[in-house]
Amino acid sequence: MKTINLFVTVLLLILVTSCSTDNKLTSKEKKDGWVLLFDGQTTDGWKNFNEDKISGWQVEEGCLVGQGLGGDIGGDIVSVREYDNFILKWEWKLGPNGNSGVMYHVVEDAKYKAAYETGPEYQMIEDDDFRDENGDPYPIEDWQKTAADYAMYVANDQKQVNLRDWNSSKIVFTPEKAEYWLNGKKVVEFVPWSDDWNERRNSGKWDAYPDYGFAKTGKLCLQDHGSKIWFRNIKIKEL
């Protein structure tokens, strides 16, 4: 009986400890300059792109959840604050046929219909079995797959995705070098606004969006692209 009680006590302690780390900063993180972007209880600090309200997103069990009501245009939310150089971390998981992304340096203006017209995107999608709105298989290019710098840089072979489970991601951005990380492994690295970057940017994909990628400061964006997406532990450290 004592053994059972001890096991239950230890299990409860583990659960309490693991829950208490969700959407909170440690003392060291606070000292190091990290700021929490989602408190686990409200949508404070976020709003719909080009609007002064937030809709289509809810807080569910400590997660910020996109309800899948968006599409190619509409549904995305952006941070109230703007950022230039930073380290951004977050945890996420996709619903069925999931498609989402995290953008940065997003510029709000009535002339832009969507955040992706200006902001580079860390892609998050169901790589192996993505389907269109009719449920039919829809092949996607490597530059569209998870952890790619969408339509710019493909994730390398270090990429490992947890389907239907939590993944951890990180973007490190400075003018000298940008890095995308997935589940503890660096999967993308490039130099912003370099000759290589400009060649890729001008290869055709972004011809319809002349302001893509040129802003050096802007808002963060969480994308709702028509499927449910869960976020938690969103935090940033400005550099």
Of 6-15, 62-71, 201-210, 214-223, the one with minimum mean pLDDT is 6-15
- C-alpha distances out from residue 45 to 42, 79, 82, 234, Å: 9, 6, 11, 12
Stretch 192-221: mean pLDDT, rounded?
Answer: 97
Does residue 19 sit within a domain? no
Does residue 28 sit within a domain? no
Does residue 14 sit within a domain? no
- The pLDDT, as a whole number, for residue 231 is 98
- pLDDT reading at 4 higher than 50: no
pLDDT per residue as tens digits for the range 88-122: 999 999 988 899 999 999 999 999 999 999 999 99
pLDDT band at 158 (very low <50, low <70, confident <90, very high): very high
CB-CB neighbours of 9 under 10 Å:
10
Q: What own/partner pairs with CB < 8 Å and gap ≥ 24 does 188-197 have?
A: 188/147, 188/148, 188/149, 188/153, 188/154, 188/155, 188/156, 189/153, 190/149, 190/152, 190/153, 197/152
- pLDDT reading at 130 higher than 90: no
- The pLDDT, as a whole number, for residue 93 is 96
Mean pLDDT of the chain: 90
Whether residue 205 contacts residue 212, with contact meaning beta carbons closer than 8 Å, is answered with: no
- The pLDDT, as a whole number, for residue 21 is 58
Stretch 183-201: mean pLDDT, rounded?
Answer: 98
Does residue 15 sit within a domain? no
Does residue 6 sit within a domain? no
The count of domains in the chain is 1
Does residue 23 sit within a domain? no
- pLDDT reading at 84 higher than 90: yes
Q: What is the CATH number of the domain that holds 149?
A: 2.60.120.560
Does residue 89 sit within a domain? yes
Return d(Cα 178, Cα 8) in angstroms, integer.
Answer: 45
pLDDT band at 19 (very low <50, low <70, confident <90, very high): very low
- pLDDT reading at 149 higher than 60: yes
- C-alpha distances out from residue 68 to 95, 97, 225, Å: 9, 11, 6
pLDDT per residue as tens digits for the range 22-72: 999 999 999 999 999 999 999 999 999 999 999 999 999 999 999 988 877
Stretch 217-230: mean pLDDT, rounded?
Answer: 94
pLDDT band at 2 (very low <50, low <70, confident <90, very high): very low
Q: Which of 132-136, 181-185, 204-208 has the highest mean pLDDT?
A: 181-185
Stretch 127-146: mean pLDDT, rounded?
Answer: 84
- pLDDT reading at 213 higher than 70: yes
Domain boundaries, position 141:
33-238
- The pLDDT, as a whole number, for residue 227 is 87
- pLDDT reading at 142 higher than 70: yes
Does residue 26 sit within a domain? no
Q: Where are the alpha helices (DSSP H) in the chain?
A: 2-20, 27-31, 195-201
pTM: 0.89
